Structure 1
Amino acid sequence: MGLVDAWGGTAVGWFFAHLIEAFYNLFYALLHPDLWLAWLPYTNGNMPEVEIKEALMRFIYYGASVEFFFVVLAIFLVVTVIGLIKNQFMWGCVWVLESIANGVGRFFAWAGLLMVLQQIVIIFMQRVFAVSEISMGFGVAFSKDVSWWAEELKFYNAMIVCMCVTYTFVQGGHVRVDLIYSAVSHRTKRIIDMIGSLLFMIPAAILTWLYGWFFLWRHLVVPNPSASDTLDRLLTKARALRWNVETIGFSPNGFNAYFLFKVLLIAFTALVLLQAVAFFYRSYLELIEGEESEGKYLDKDPIGDPTAELVAKIH
């Protein structure tokens, strides 16, 4: 559109130019998915055409770009304005976002059981039967060295931490360092929560995304993309672009899919960002609707212990 070039002389002009262009960029991207998603059928395979490689480079560039930030900001502002006009719509957004956190967390929490069962199998196979290789699977066996399965336990632990973080937040399970929160009024608590979500959760998530995005792609493709590269430079690099998925382990026969940890970092950041928005909306709605709205539409798991239930309610 050219607004950034025309208005970019001042900080205010730069901001509003990007914000206005965000709506154009969003609809243009949705209407032209081939420009940035054409690489999907060739994931970790040969990309025969330069246009496909350029599409991947566009995806990498825009995934952590100023343009993408303003698209997300524009969506947030539009949803927030609609929610301010119609509070029930905002409650619906809270319910959807918290349902995502709960659904993802409840699913990946099973990784804890899987981790324990796999550790038991490793101990028996290694210490009792003295085997060096374990095969798992139905029909087609997946065979790896015992050290591979042992190191893979780190991945299960990372899955629980990254994918259950917002679920734990919704359930009130995070440890709270409470100095003044419990002693203030309902209204003050909600104001503190709103400020905390805007000034701490969202900026921390954005910074983690900016770091993690290029950290991920540097371990998936070569030439390595850089956060300082312009789009034109990345498109120039696209001619030599190829997949180079990280498969190096810490030990010769150890777990060799450490790129999955980088994927988890991105997923973790996205979940935290969504939960920060949900927390801001819930805090605002509970502020204007009063104490009777506290915990409204909140889907919390029963703990089963009265003392633990009381502690969770206090926090």
Structure 2
Amino acid sequence: MTTDTMRALVATGYGDPEQLRIAELPVPRPGPGQILVKIAASTINPTDLRVIAGGFRDLVELQFPYTLGNEFAGTVTEAGPGVTRFRVGDEIFGLALPRQLRLAADPVRPSLSTGALADYAVFEADTSALDHRPAALGAEQAASLLIAGGTTLALMDTAKIRPGESVLVIGATGAVGLTLIPSLATAGAEITVTARTTEAADLLHSLGAHHAVGYDAYPTGVDVVLNLALFADGLPAAARSLRPGGRLISIIFPPPEPQQLERDDVELAFVMQTGDETNGARAVAEAAIAGRLSTPIARRYPLDHGVEAAVHYARQHPLGKVVVTV
């Protein structure tokens, strides 16, 4: 049983996170193939802030109020017609783009929602980006894993790191980087990371990084560059650090074009956490339970302090996920 209204972290127009607010909205209702979920935990992510800042206006013009939130863990409270995968009372977790970003989702089995930073959200049930939450994963841990963990799995699958290869990770202090570094270390890579502070460098060293450099001091002759932070204008400098025949793999949308690297003797790939069977909810959960994936949580906020959570994420650049509990 649900109430008629709920709290949600919304943008009422394009702008900085300071203009967000907690609004009272009608509880959404699930249609055919959809489920209503009582949210237990969600997170603040870079995409949330890029979207409200207007970073995707060439793709979609938002309609306001716009409810933020991609990752979540929660309990199914209602199932629409045709749903067989989930039942009322199921504890689930997953990743879904707010519906207004449909054009950026999987065209075949899109994982879409009404926005997870709310008391309730409606999700599409038939997607590998959602799954039952294993008892071994707490709600906060599960909500924190999908983007960073799924992206790590996708990067490792694409990069195919060989023991002894040198890898430069640009933007290593975000949640993806902090989740990725141990996987690179396990693969036997010689890892160089970018870090702005001694605190960040120390943390990255503890996770398995060998060297820390500034953003203006990339090494040369590197086998692989993993770009977790730079937009197109920063790619030439990153590409210059590669040896001939090296590989640059980026996760930053939009996908880079080869000519943006300003050299033609290196390979370029774009990786996106798609939520498919190789990096979706079940694959991430299995890797986490096996001890192969872990995403640190930097700070927790209740939903009523969701604006503060978004501002903290944007301005303080915490070393780990910012979780919003509901």
* TM-score category, normalised to shorter length: under 0.3
Specify which structure has the bigger relative contact order, considering alpha-carbon pairs within 8 angstroms and separated by 6 or more residues.
1
TM-score (norm 2): 0.22
The structure in which a higher percent of residues are strand is 2
Query: Is the radius of gyration larger for structure 1 or structure 2?
Result: 1
TM-score (norm 1): 0.23
The structure in which a higher percent of residues are helix is 1
